[in-house]
Amino acid sequence: MLEDCGFTGVDIGPPVDTFRGARGEEKARAFEVFGHAFLAHRQ
């Protein structure tokens, strides 16, 4: 989607287990939800 919106050079960082130990952990585990950093450059 980023490329479709005029961005290039997209980079994605490693997953972070942001819901570990939180109340939302069960839902996060069900859909393998992790946090990531994203980087993209405007064309």
Partner 1 sequence: MTSQNPAGTEFVDAEVLREQVKDKYRDVALDPHGEHHFHTGRALAELLGYPRNVVDNLPDRAVESFAGVGNPFSLRTLPEGSNVVDIGSGAGFDSFVAAGQVGERGRVIGVDMTHEMLDKARENAAHLGRTHVEFREGLAEELPVETGWADAVISNGVINLCADKKAVFTEIRRVLRPGGVLQFADIANGRPVPVEAMRQIDLWTG
Closest CB 30 distance from partner 1, rounded Å? 7
Closest CB 29 distance from partner 1, rounded Å? 10
In single-letter form, the type of residue at position 19 comes to F
Closest CB 9 distance from partner 1, rounded Å? 9
- Asked if 1 and 36 count as a contact pair (C-beta separation under 8 A), the reply is no
Counting every residue written for the chain, the total comes to 43
Q: Write out the residues near partner 1 by the rule CB under 8 A.
A: 1-2, 4-7, 11, 13, 16, 18-24, 27, 30-43
- Asked if 40 and 8 count as a contact pair (C-beta separation under 8 A), the reply is yes
